[in-house]
Amino acid sequence: MYRVLITDPLSDQGIERLLEAEDVEVVKKTGLSPEELLVEIEHADALLVRSQTKVTAEVIQAGKKLKAIGRAGVGVDNIDVAAATSRGVVVVNAPDGNTISTAEHTFAMLIALARNIPQAYRSTISGEWKRKQFVGVELRKKTLGIVGLGRIGTEVAKRAHAFGMKVVAFDPYLTAERAKKIGVTQATLDELYAQADFITVHTPLTKETRHLINQEAFEKMKTGVRIVNCARGGIIDEHALLEAIQTGKVAGAALDVFEQEPPGNHPLFDLPQVIVTPHLGASTVEAQENVAIDVSEEILHILRGEPFKNAVNLPSIPVELQEKLAPYQTLAESLGRFIAQAAPGALHTVTVTYSGELTELDTAPLTRMIIKGALSYHLSDVNYVNASFLAQQRGVNITEQKTSQTRGFTNLITVEITTDQEQRKVSGTLLNGFGPRIVKVDEYPIDVVPEGHLLLIQHQDQPGVIGRVGTLLGTRNVNIASMQVGRKQIGGQAIMMLTVDKPVSPDILAQLAQLDDIRSVREIDL
């Protein structure tokens, strides 16, 4: 039974799948103090939050069973993602659920800013009738500059077209082809600043985007420009914005987010040109339910060991790629586990080579599985999320390469490692109808199913060696399920790979190593 702790308000409709799951216990405890959260998280397999709960490194450390943290929304500012990654905890969000809600709110703010609607409302209900004071501007034929053309920015662009606006956009990942498809003009930031009558930002808050729109940026803008921010507080330098409005450079601003929330008695609130809302971008009934539904499904997938897609601390994997790589995941991890046990010593380098049809795919997810397998021999807390992080932390150099040489196989994965003692290599493939196979160890051809208890024995190819090994194991009540022998030349160095029914004790391994013509014996548990 998995225990899912929910510490921020979420509707039962949004978490319906969790509530109905027979293998899940849902515990809803909102408004916990930091001390109470540390107690509750100790028994949780997953934590589901919105923006109120602060998921610190201390909280993550206290979650001894924690496998996943779900954020019912887009931003993960309240979650220590680095700490989660180092602990192997998957952090997922719901990037699609509030797209329409935020885009609509952005446009509502844009129209309100252009027509002075909040100011006119306050004046009218106070008994005034000042029509001339609230003359606005039309959106038609105006230029809207969109900084960040992701999901929300794209939806804003669609609505701007409906109002007859020209749209220029900046996004570091925007291609000319995509810009043409959306119907926007691709621009640099400086070009956008120079052309736009309205500017709206839709980027995440990162080290690079913090105070992206600052005093220098305002100086490059048209006089009379209007600014909208429904993305993240901190993208706009609020002090620079205050000065730009006071000098007349900026005609007005509509802000849904702030650098500090709640913002308190902010000096921007004293300016009649500024309209504000309390972070309402995702605050619709539909968005609240959608993000909760999306993140609940992701949590279920993670807990059940099923594929998931919205991990913040893992690269997103398209569904089509997932389907193509899925058959190789068990093979990849097995190769990592095998080679780590075959080569004693501290791991220094890992080189993964993909051959055949795999060279046409993004194989990074498989490489992570290999690293996970290799590190799991030495580390108990390694998983798919933190494998690369832990390898880097320990100074392990990882190289991924691809080659057209298939050596007779449709697909081939080769893992080569160096330790402080030796260098070894293993290759594996998928045989149609038979599943994963190890087909080469070092330079010796072999055919072994990578599972169960294996003995890897290096020996001199001499008559009687195999018989001596079989006899010793038989007299020690160790049953051999299968045996494969690989050699390059008669009488030279060779290997044998045995599948046995149970683990072999250290004293039996020592006796095998003392047999004539045996060079080394390694037990491998897959």
The catalytic residues are 232, 261, 279
- The one-letter code for the residue type at 400 is E
Q: How far apart are CA 172 and CA 150, in angstroms?
A: 11
Q: How far apart are CA 6 and CA 4, in angstroms?
A: 7
CA atoms within 13 A on the CB side of 509: 17
Place of tokens 């799991």: 376
Q: Which residues of 311-332 are buried (b: 16+ CB within 10 A; e: fewer)?
A: bbbbeebeeeeeeebeebbbbb
Place of tokens 């600043």: 193
DSSP per-residue string spanning 289-347: HHHHHHHHHHHHHHHTT-----BTTS----HHHHHHHHHHHHHHHHHHHHHHHHS-S-E
Q: Determine the straight-line distance between the first and last CA of the chain, rounded to whole angstroms.
A: 26
Closest C-alpha to 214, from 224, 204, 201:
201
Place of tokens 């001390």: 35
